[in-house]
Amino acid sequence: MITPPSGAGEQQGGMGAALLSDPDRIERILRTLVKGVSKPVTCKIRILPSLEDTIRLVQRIERTGVAAIAVHGRRKEERPQHPVHCDVIKAVAEAVSIPVIANGGSQDCIKVHSDIEAFRAATGASSVMLARAAMWNPSIFRRDGPLPLEQVIGEYIRYELSATNHTFNTKYCLCKRLKEKLESPPGKKLHSAQSHREICEAFDSVVYYKKTTTMLEARSAAEARRHHTDDQFEDTDVTTMTVRFDKQVQETSVLQRDYPPQITPKMFLLEWSQSEQLPQPVYETVIQRPLDRFFRSTVTAANKKYRSTTWDKSKKLAEQSAAVVGLRTLGLPEGRMGEEESNLVKKRKREEKTECSGSAESAEESGHAPIGDCLALYSIYSTEGTASWMS
Ligand SMILES: Cc1cc2nc3c(=O)[nH]c(=O)nc-3n(C[C@H](O)[C@H](O)[C@H](O)COP(=O)(O)O)c2cc1C
């Protein structure tokens, strides 16, 4: 829109009606929008001091490719109470072939629904835009005639409460709606109201206020419960912890992973299970959260279940997070960088001395993956979830 809310003179920052004196910029803005936006672009202006300039401007605006133009039939310096120039809007409508939306008739032209069409006809426009008339009484759009103000205010309060509208926005709209009735007892109460409750008190709507706030509180409590349940699995035999395998730590502006690329917690859990002659860990119940389609996994190791409370973006990461929970609960190393060397690492280093000096075949034959300098070989054997490389 290229007009300000009211008939103020110079606009701050070159915005609003100030743009009217810079048609080159208007054109640049509109061409950029038309080119860059897939939706139809419309434009709203106030009229210029001369009819010729106004027509020249709207024709230039039309050439930018906008879908329609709204014309507030007042000049930049005219106030909302000044009469609207229906004749200028009409001349504009005749000068362009895109739809023209007539605006500015709330005060002097539009009192009831049928006046909207009369305003459209008087301006030769395609349609009408209403601001203040709708703010004063939204039932202006009712074909059967406007509703009593008390009823409109009552319904408005219900909507704004349910929609948790900002208190002072509600107060502003109600003040505009009351107009000359602002000096009435409800008007005075509204004037001093600082909360939704006080606004409701002004209009004898406290019962509704209580009912609505109770309903809203119940709704948010149910929502909180739903989230909580979402995070709690029904089974109670699962040990949970809030950990994430894929966590990256910021270190001197370089993003570093917690784990070296070839080392994973799943490997450590598998190696431990085998060394203890326990069944291979089983990863199960991979759940996909409907909200973002993230995953959470449960691992069974040594007949106990482990799971992270966090959600991961892939099944693989979710399984690694579950393995971390298992390892930490069991007090086992998990392969993180900077972690004290585990028995597994020490063992591998010992083996490395002998196996790396031998051949890859001997490593394969022994079923042991070498570590350290032999990480490339290690990764060949690291088929997670299988025991192919471990003793
Ligand atoms: C509360 C309020 C906010 C407005 N905000 C804007 C706005 O953001 N941009 C704009 O171009 N016009 C704005 N206007 C002006 C209206 O769009 C309209 O041009 C003006 O009120 C004349 O129309 P009316 O006689 O139907 O009220 C606002 C008007 C009101 C009352």
Does 118 fall in a domain?
yes
**Can you give the residue range of the structural domain that contains 105?**
12-141
CB 137 within 8 A of CB 113: no
Tokens representing 287 are 């759940």
Are 16 and 134 found together in one domain?
yes
User: Using CA positions, which residue lies closest to atom 11 of ligand 1?
Assistant: 3
Are 104 and 181 found together in one domain?
no
Residue 296: per-residue pLDDT: 87
User: 75 or 243: whose pLDDT is higher?
Assistant: 75
Q: Residues lining ligand 1, judged by CB closer than 6 Å?
A: 1, 3, 5, 44, 72, 80, 103-107, 130-133, 135
The domain boundary, picked from 141, 169, 200, lies at 141
Are 199 and 270 found together in one domain?
no
Are 46 and 81 found together in one domain?
yes
Lowest mean pLDDT, pick from 157-161, 193-197, 318-322, 340-344:
340-344
Mutate-to-test residue for ligand 1 from 103, 120, 171, highest number of ligand atoms within 8 A of CB: 103
364 pLDDT band (50/70/90 cuts)?
very low
Q: Is the pLDDT confidence value at 174 over 60?
A: yes
Are 19 and 136 found together in one domain?
yes
Centre of ligand 1 to C-alpha 148, Å, is 24
Residue 214: per-residue pLDDT: 86
> 233: exposed, middle or buried (C-beta count within 10 Å: 0-12, 13-18, 19+)?
middle
115 pLDDT band (50/70/90 cuts)?
very high
User: 240 or 66: whose pLDDT is higher?
Assistant: 66
Residue 344: per-residue pLDDT: 62
Tokens representing 32 are 């950029």
What letter does residue 66 receive in the DSSP assignment? -
Centre of ligand 1 to C-alpha 86, Å, is 17
Does 5 fall in a domain?
no
Are 165 and 247 found together in one domain?
no
Does 190 fall in a domain?
yes
Q: Which residues contact 386 (CB under 8 A, 6 or more apart)?
A: none
User: 33 or 316: whose pLDDT is higher?
Assistant: 33
Does 16 fall in a domain?
yes
Are 332 and 346 found together in one domain?
no
Mutate-to-test residue for ligand 1 from 45, 132, 135, highest number of ligand atoms within 8 A of CB: 132
Cα dihedral 311, 314, 318, 323, rounded to 10, equals -160
For the chain, the domain total comes to 4
From 137, 102, 98, select the one nearest 120 (Cα to Cα): 102
User: Using CA positions, which residue lies closest to atom 5 of ligand 1?
Assistant: 5
5 pLDDT band (50/70/90 cuts)?
very low
Residue 125: per-residue pLDDT: 98
Are 259 and 284 found together in one domain?
yes
Does 210 fall in a domain?
yes
Does 233 fall in a domain?
no
Are 354 and 330 found together in one domain?
no
The Cα-based distances of 165 to 160, 173, 242 in angstroms read 5, 11, 36
Residue 351: per-residue pLDDT: 61
Atom from ligand 1 closest to the CA of residue 172: 1
Centre of ligand 1 to C-alpha 130, Å, is 8
The domain boundary, picked from 141, 160, 176, lies at 141
Q: What is the mean pLDDT of residues 12-39?
A: 89
Residue 226: per-residue pLDDT: 67
Q: What is the mean pLDDT of residues 8-26?
A: 75
Q: Is the pLDDT confidence value at 367 over 60?
A: no
Are 21 and 79 found together in one domain?
yes
Are 114 and 201 found together in one domain?
no
Does 2 fall in a domain?
no
Centre of ligand 1 to C-alpha 34, Å, is 23
Are 285 and 384 found together in one domain?
no
Atom from ligand 1 closest to the CA of residue 135: 31
Centre of ligand 1 to C-alpha 165, Å, is 20
97 pLDDT band (50/70/90 cuts)?
very high
Does 7 fall in a domain?
no
Q: What is the pLDDT of residues 315-352, one digit of tens each?
A: 888 999 999 999 999 988 887 777 766 666 666 666 65
The domain boundary, picked from 123, 141, 159, lies at 141
Residue type, 325: V
57 pLDDT band (50/70/90 cuts)?
very high
